[in-house]
């Protein structure tokens, strides 16, 4: 989605439809990337949006106007905030995945106890636990 917006801005700016003010659209590119693409994607989208902003300012001869500099400032602020948010979301996902992994390991150790061999037989306790788990899954307990 962010790259489609960047493409739309390019089409608008470099065609006769360039009477539309596209600064806010470019500012949305890194913000949407932060939600969907992660830190690397956010950085790539921010660089792309900045490059498009420079290209359109040069093409339209808009250097020296407050509009161009306010676009750059807004783009930089949103990019930094998007990167920080994306990084925090990535860390949160990693922590959540680690928590789920620890719970899964603990549950596996409880339910799937190691089978102890006593001579050539399995212990009765292991068979019993397996039957209890199977009965629980069938809904008979």
pLDDT at 122 over 60: no
Average pLDDT score over residue span 122-136: 54
Higher pLDDT, 21 or 131: 21
How large is the C-alpha radius of gyration of the chain?
Answer: 28
Give percent above pLDDT 70 in the chain: 79
12-70, pLDDT tens digit by residue? 888 887 777 887 889 999 999 999 888 999 999 999 999 999 998 888 888 888 888 99
Query: What pLDDT is stored for residue 132 in this prediction?
Result: 57
What crossing angle do the helices spanning 23-36 and 2-13 adopt, rounded to 10°?
Answer: 160
Average pLDDT score over residue span 87-93: 93
Average pLDDT score over residue span 94-117: 82
> What sign does the CA torsion over 11, 13, 18, 21 have?
positive
Query: What pLDDT is stored for residue 112 in this prediction?
Result: 73
Q: Where would I find the beta strands (DSSP E) of 1-141?
A: 117-118, 121-122
């Amino acid at each position: 989605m962010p790259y489609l917006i960047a493409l739309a801005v390019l089409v608008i700016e470099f065609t006769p439809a360039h009477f539309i003010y596209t600064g806010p659209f470019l500012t949305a590119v890194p913000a949407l990337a932060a939600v969907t693409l992660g830190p690397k994607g956010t950085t790539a989208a921010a660089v792309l949006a900045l490059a498009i902003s420079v290209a359109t300012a040069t093409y339209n001869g808009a250097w020296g106007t407050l509009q161009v500099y306010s676009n750059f400032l807004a783009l930089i602020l949103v990019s930094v905030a998007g990167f920080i948010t994306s990084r925090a979301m990535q860390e949160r996902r990693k922590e959540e995945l680690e928590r789920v992994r620890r719970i899964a390991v603990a549950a596996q150790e409880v339910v799937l106890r190691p089978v102890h061999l006593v001579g050539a037989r399995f212990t009765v306790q292991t068979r019993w636990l397996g039957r209890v788990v199977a009965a629980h899954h069938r809904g008979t307990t």
